[in-house]
Each structure stands twice: as C-alpha cells, then as structure tokens.
Amino acid sequence: MKISTRVEYGLVALTDIVIYSENGSSVSAPDISKRQNISHKYLEHILLLLRQAGFIRAQKGLKGGYTLACNPDEVSLSEVINALDNNILAGMDKKDEGGLGPVINDCFWDKINSNLYQYLNGMKLSDFANQCRSRIPGDWDLYII
C-alpha cells in the first residue's frame, strides 16, 4: 500500500498540533516544519487542506499559528485520512479478469482494507496523539563530557 506524503505529513502535522497546542496555544508552521523535518512550503499546503477540512484554524499575529478547530475526541483517523486523500480507504479497484485475481482480492485485499478501515475509524485523534506523545523521548538531564 502506498501512502502519499500529503497523508503522511498531514497526519504528522495534525498530531503535532494536538500535542503542542495544549491549553489553546497556537503552533506555528515554522515550528512544525523544524520539529518534523517537513518543507515549510509543502507544510503550508497541507495545513491549508487541514484547515479547509475543519480540523484546524489559523490565527494571525505575533502569537499566531494553528490551533485545533475540532474536538480530537470526536475525530477519527479515517476522517483525517479521507480529508487528505479520499482514495486510500476507497478499496482496491476490482477488475473482472478471471483467474485468481478476484479470489485474491476477496481473500486478501478486502480483509486488509476492512481491518484498516475498522482501525482508522475506531481510533480517535486524541487517542492517537496520546499514543504518540507517550513515545516522544523526554528531555534528558544527561551531560556528555
């Protein structure tokens, strides 16, 4: 399965905003770009898609940036994925080629797509962000001499 960089970086950017916009503070695009090693220009395009989908809002000004425009407890990952690329969860194109093709689609790809959809539909953005947050290494009080 191929996932576009738009989907990958969109999920990364949105998760970054969930994690780093605690207490309603905004997260700047340059900060996301630097933390996540994403081209600032490409990130702006992705943030526009996320804003148009209603997941984030932009704030202008000195303390401007992006904040959540939705409740992460109510947004599933499938909604985010579909907003960034509605072809991923659409399933495989079925061609009536005869032979084993349709059988393999039924026995393999349909089950994988179904499991992927169930996972993404059941996983809320807040739960996903919490899982990611728990795996971010904390600041170390370690000095190497």
Residues β-bridged to residue 58: 66
Q: Is the pLDDT of residue 6 over 90?
A: yes
- Would you state the pLDDT for residue 125? 96
- Would you state the pLDDT for residue 138? 67
Burial 15-25 (b: 16+ CB within 10 A, else e): bbbbebbeeee
For 22-32, what is the mean pLDDT?
A: 90
- Would you state the pLDDT for residue 61? 85
- The SS3 call for residue 82 is helix
Mean model confidence pLDDT for the chain: 87
What domains are there in the chain, each with its CATH number?
A: 5-135 (1.10.10.10)
pTM listed for this prediction: 0.83
Question: What is the per-residue pLDDT across 37-93, written as a single tens digit (0 to 9) for each?
Answer: 999 999 999 999 999 999 999 998 888 899 999 999 999 999 999 999 987 776 545
**How far, in Å, CA of 46 to CA of 9, rounded?**
8
- Would you state the pLDDT for residue 94? 54
**How far, in Å, CA of 56 to CA of 42, rounded?**
17
